[in-house]
Amino acid sequence: MDIIKAPRGVRDILPDEAWKWAYVLETSRKVAGFFGYNEIHLPLFEHTELFSRGIGDSTDVVEKEMYTFLDRAGRSLTLRPELTASMVRCYLEHGMSKKVQPVKLWSAGPMFRYERPQKGRYRQFWQLDVEALGSEAPEVDLEIIAFAIYLFNALGLSNLEVVINSVGCPVCRPGYRDALKRYVGSNFDALCNTCQNRFERNPLRILDCKNERCREIMKDAPGIADYLCDECSEHFKRVKEGMTILGINYKEDKNLVRGLDYYTKTAFEVLSGELGAQNAVCGGGRYDNLAETIGGPHVPGVGFAAGIERIVLTMEGQGCDFGQQPGIDVFIVTADDLAKNKALKLLYDLRHEQISVDMDYTGKSIGSQLKTASNREAKLACILGGVEIEKGVVTVKDLRKGSQSEVANDSLIDYVKANLAG
């Protein structure tokens, strides 16, 4: 029988990598604190309708990428492909409009999309998701973009490109859509099959097709900037002014539309050259009509999500610092069974003093226990043999310096603490 492996596109995050994730998530938690965002935990699955209505039926995510299943009672449920729709559902369900607005929330966890796996693109991946709900103010868009930039700076990332656009609103987008269709219509036959299908259903998506020919055609497509209504245009201007005030460099990209239908006004992405084809470290924007699409009242919102795998990949590529890799402080080495009992007591005494300590349970020789101690990068080895027990001492070897000394049992904990601190 073959050994069962993890499904395609799904990764185990092994300890060698998991500590880097912990650093990224810890840093995110700190930045969220500075920006006044509260952590929230949301379900991994929701009613399918939340996503099909919220994200949009004609998006790739809903059409091709959702993990949808019937539960035992025949209800259609979907593993969350993203968090924004769930955040808005949660805001509505818990009457958060009564709180001080905007309600500022963040969450991190796994998302699920049936995509073709490649570097930086997986079927289960983690997002850090940050949302501000209940405010129309362009300063909140600015805060969301600034949050992302602050976080990436705190993580030591460099050479990132911020691209922004305004995708308009239901007032001005239809006019732009028509202009775009007129332009695209005259090049229809040259478009890829996917874009030919998009032409009627979702022509704006043609703007961000990755196909070389489509890109070439769309380079000269009309930009939405010329079609924005006064409100959208003012809003966009204010966001850009704010970016200038904060010294955030950005590039305006008239073809940035993003793959989810709920966006209105601001859309942005942060790109990294380190990632190859999947170059977006984060993406986000405003979604003022999402709450209405899922059956609620008008609740404006803006947010972003960043892929944790992509952040870690970029940090590794750029040689960023992940802080200290967790290791043990002390390894206890024993010579025989009598020493083992003493060692067990010492093991837990040290742990109770909040010192990270381990020992061997497999009956290895002293030599190989010492080898384990240095492989585990322990700072100190506490050696217990017959001689030590007879004399009421422990031999403490400093594995960083190679020196060793005999320490009386009753002063051992203080000695270890002092040495670890020094």
d(CA 164, CA 202): 20
- Report, in Å, the least distance between residue 9 CB and ligand HAM: 8
Q: What string of H, E and C letters represents the secondary structure of 31-46? A: HHHHHCCEECCCCCEE
Whichever of 28 and 372 has its CB closer to ligand HAM, that residue is 28
Q: Which residue number, 286 or 397, has a Cβ lying nearer to ligand HAM?
A: 286
Backbone angles phi, psi at 323, to 5 degrees: 80, -160
Q: Which residues bind ligand HAM (CB under 6 A)?
A: 82-84, 113, 115, 120-122, 125, 127, 129, 131, 259-260, 280-285, 287, 303-307, 309-310
Tell me the H-state helices in 302-365.
308-317, 337-352
Contact (Cβ atoms closer than 8 angstroms) between residue 165 and residue 257: yes
- Written as one string, the DSSP assignment of 65-107 is I--EEE-TT--EEEE-S-SHHHHHHHHHHTTGGGSSSSEEEEE
Q: In whole angstroms, what is the distance from residue 325 CA to residue 165 CA? A: 39
Closest distance of CB 218 from ligand HAM, Å: 19
| Alpha carbon distance 169, 287 (integer Å) | 9
Residues 270/282, Cβ–Cβ less than 8 Å: yes
Token readout for 37 is: 């965002």
Q: Which is nearer to ligand HAM, 129 or 288 (CB)?
A: 129
Q: Rank residues 264 and 419 by Cβ distance to ligand HAM and give the closer one.
A: 264
How many CB atoms sit inside 10 A of residue 320's CB? 18
C-beta of residue 214 within 8 angstroms of C-beta of residue 192: yes
**Closest CB to ligand HAM among residues 173, 286:** 286
Q: How far is CA 38 from the centre of its chain?
A: 16
Q: Which is nearer to ligand HAM, 223 or 303 (CB)?
A: 303
Q: Which is nearer to ligand HAM, 11 or 400 (CB)?
A: 11
- Minimum CB distance to ligand HAM, residue 162 (Å): 13
> In this structure, what DSSP letter does residue 134 have?
S
Q: Which residue's CB atom is positioned nearest to ligand HAM?
A: 307
Nearer to ligand HAM, 118 or 341 (CB): 118
Nearer to ligand HAM, 131 or 329 (CB): 131
Nearest distance from residue 215's CB to ligand HAM, in Å?
Answer: 19
CB of 421 to ligand HAM, least distance (A): 40
Smallest separation, CB 297 to ligand HAM (Å): 19
Q: In this structure, how many other beta carbons lie within 10 angstroms of the beta carbon of residue 212?
A: 9
Nearest distance in Å: CB 60, ligand HAM: 10
User: Rounded to the nearest whole angstrom, what is the least distance from the CB of residue 383 to ligand HAM in the complex?
Assistant: 47
> Could you count the other beta carbons within 10 Å of the beta carbon of residue 196?
15
Shortest Å distance, C-beta 87 to ligand HAM: 8
Beta-ladder partners of 359: 332
Q: What angle do CA 305, 125, 322 make, to 5 degrees?
A: 80
